[in-house]
Amino acid sequence: MERTLLKVHGSGNTFYLLETKDENEFDWVALTKWLCHPQNEGGADGLLLVCPSKFAHAKMRVINADGSEASMCGNGLRCVARYVCEKMNRTEAIIETMKANLKVKKESALFETIPTYSVAISPVSFQLASLPMHYKNKPQIQHEVIEEFSPTIRFTAVSVPNPHLIGIVSDYYIKHRSHQFLLAQFLNNENEYCPDGVNVSYVFPMTDDSIYVRTYERGVGFTNACGTAMTASALVAKLNGVVQKDVVTVYNPGGFVRCEVKDEQDLLLIGNATVTVICQLTISENNFSWIHCEPTEETVQYDKCMQYVNNRTKPYLQ
């Protein structure tokens, strides 16, 4: 069977996007692992499935590179938002995700003519049980030192709804990622704190309305960006006085987004939704092969955006 896939990204967080009318059509885990292998056309961070929904304009499922399924993905949702809105000739829509039906909307470009969409991020909880996470019978961890993790870094645990551990750090921990890597590896293997693993983000304050975020994503590893992590990081930074404004620019290894933080339950993630390749694929049971892949011109425009990001972050991260 021949199918068309799009290779897409939000802030460098790369996915294949496939529409299906039947969620049981294929072994999605097997397909995802094949698509995402680094030696296969550069791989990807996961597969975005666009499915029919009884409650919204479409349903999104997110299969991570390792075959696990994420409850939400902010960067992926922007790409699904663009696909659904363009297909239905709409400027906004409702997309069903695992834990919430979320509003998406086409926005003015953040940089030159790059397609830009906003997505609502919800629900938000600081209860450790929502991640789940266990630590000394505490109900929450908000901007606290966890001695077992670091004697100096202040951490916040939050689900949005993906589980996140957010650390506010100095530039040293951004330039040298070994501490973050070791902690994330520990928390995403068998451990007493996070039985289902957790996304670990380190946040460096740049100005009163901008931060830099690097994320080790559960099921993926270090990624160019994670939409829910960037939103959670902006929320944590605002609540703890790291930034002062309600609109926070979040830079990351794959680009930048803007997060609107009006309150804990009113969060908006705004960023690019870029299509880099249009692919034709043959699928036969668990056998997959490429027919044709055609790059788009959108990559050139995003390269200009990355030059802008590098110029903005270089003074802080030299």
- The answer to whether the Cα torsion of 167, 136, 122, 58 is positive or negative is positive
- The answer to whether residue 305 is catalytic is no
What is the largest distance, in Å, between two alpha-carbon atoms of the chain?
A: 55
Q: Which residues contact 44 (CB under 8 A, 6 or more apart)?
A: 7, 14, 15, 16, 35, 36, 65
What is the token pair recorded at 121? 């991020």
What is the token pair recorded at 203? 């946040």
Q: Using CA atoms, how far apart are residues 162 and 143, in angstroms rounded to an integer? A: 18
Instruction: Determine which one of 36, 85, 226, 305 is catalytic.
Output: 226
SS3 181: helix
Residue 59 to residues 17, 49, 51, 100, 134, Cα–Cα distance (Å) = 13, 8, 5, 10, 32
Instruction: Determine which one of 36, 73, 85, 194 is catalytic.
Output: 73
Residue type, 236: V
- The answer to whether residue 226 is catalytic is yes
Q: Which residues pair with 5 in a beta bridge?
A: 279
> Are 74 and 10 a contacting pair, CB within 8 Å?
yes
- Torsion on CA atoms 98, 49, 306, 183, rounded to nearest 10: 50
DSSP per-residue string spanning 43-76: --SEEEEEE--SSSSEEEEEEETTS-EES--HHH
Residues annotated as catalytic are 73, 226
